[in-house]
């Protein structure tokens, strides 16, 4: 199978790269953190999006080495930016499988240490699928990541089985409101009511909220009005290579 032979090779032959998408802090209007999103540049097939290979990496177990590479690369990038005077935290995405074995914390620590970080600049984004299988393990891992200095985001919030009551049990720092809530929000009173309710619960629980998938001025106006902490989406910037992000920041931040 093409993926089987070639994803292994991609890891060995450095065909993976990270793109970075900024999150705009509503308070300051500035970019304080970015999300790392993996890409695969295949010499045969060109740029391949993660939706085409992450599921396979999860099934095959390659998500282990791939995730390690992502953490190391993001950690090194955060330090490189810091040395250039750019203060950016980087959030990496984790799959459920990465929480279900006991290598996550050692790998995270090693990425921090080998980058020479003096304080933690790495955060993690989890989806609720990370929480359903074994909630108590997930809670323990989240606590250990936070103790190392990472912020923990619950990604794609509101799309699946997660409940508002779960937010009270899981010690996360941020929820990322799924882009399906934000899409066309100004014409949809039901979505507006849901978003207001989620934000009210988040405030009560002391959680910060990121709006994902902001694409239009109307969507921005709404998320500003309801008071999200951070905003992300094509309206501001698409995911891009590190160097492009540096130029974007010079022109936009």
Residues that bind Mn ion (CB under 5 A): 155-156
Contact 115, 75 (CB under 8 A): yes
Strand partners, 237: none
DSSP codes of every residue in 97-135 = HHHSSTTHHHHHHHHHHHHT-SS--EEEEE-THHHHS-H
- What is the nearest approach in angstroms of Mn ion to the Cβ of residue 106? 26
R_g of the chain, CA atoms, integer Å: 18
Q: Which stretch binds ligand G (CB under 6 A): 104-112, 136-144, 202-210, 211-219?
A: 211-219
The answer to whether residue 212 forms part of the interface with ligand G (CB under 6 A) is: yes
Buried b (16+ CB within 10 A) or exposed e, 187-206: eeeebbeebeebbebbeeee
Q: Choose from Na ion, ligand G, Mn ion, none: what does 158 bind? Cβ within 5-8 Å by kind.
A: none
Question: How many binding residues for Na ion (CB under 5 A)?
Answer: 3
Q: Which stretch binds ligand G (CB under 6 A): 25-33, 142-150, 207-215, 220-228?
A: 207-215
Question: What interhelical angle do 104-115 and 63-83 show, nearest 10?
Answer: 30
The answer to whether residue 38 forms part of the interface with ligand G (CB under 6 A) is: yes
Q: Which stretch binds ligand G (CB under 6 A): 25-33, 47-55, 82-90, 196-204?
A: 47-55
Contact 183, 215 (CB under 8 A): yes
Q: Choose from ligand G, Mn ion, Na ion, none: what does 51 bind? Cβ within 5-8 Å by kind.
A: ligand G
Which residues make up the interface to ligand G (CB under 6 A)? 21, 37-38, 49-51, 54, 70, 92-95, 125, 155-156, 179, 212-215, 233-234, 239
Q: Which residues bind Na ion (CB under 5 A)?
A: 93, 125, 155
């Amino acid at each position: 199978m093409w993926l089987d032979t070639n994803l292994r090779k991609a890891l060995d032959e450095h065909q993976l790269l990270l793109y970075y998408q900024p999150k705009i802090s509503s308070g300051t209007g500035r970019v304080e953190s970015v999300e790392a999103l993996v890409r695969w540049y295949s010499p045969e097939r060109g740029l391949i999006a993660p939706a085409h290979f992450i599921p396979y990496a999860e099934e095959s177990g390659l998500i282990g080495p791939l995730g390690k590479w992502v953490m190391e690369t993001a950690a090194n990038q955060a330090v490189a930016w810091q040395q250039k005077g750019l203060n950016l935290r980087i959030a990496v995405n984790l799959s459920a499988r990465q929480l279900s074995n006991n290598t996550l914390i050692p790998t995270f620590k090693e990425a921090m240490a080998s980058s020479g970080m003096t304080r933690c600049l790495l955060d993690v984004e989890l989806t609720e699928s990370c929480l359903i299988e074994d909630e108590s393990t997930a809670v323990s891992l989240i606590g250990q990541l936070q103790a190392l200095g990472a912020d923990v985001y619950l990604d794609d919030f509101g799309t699946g089985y997660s409940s508002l009551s779960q937010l009270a049990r899981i010690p996360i720092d941020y929820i990322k409101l799924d882009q399906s809530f934000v899409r066309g929000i100004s014409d949809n009173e039901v979505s507006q009511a849901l978003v207001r309710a989620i934000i009210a619960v988040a405030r009560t629980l002391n959680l910060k909220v990121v709006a994902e998938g902001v694409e239009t001025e109307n969507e921005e106006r709404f998320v500003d009005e309801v008071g999200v902490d951070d905003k992300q989406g094509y309206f501001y910037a698409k995911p891009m290579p590190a160097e492009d992000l540096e130029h974007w920041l010079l022109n936009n931040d």
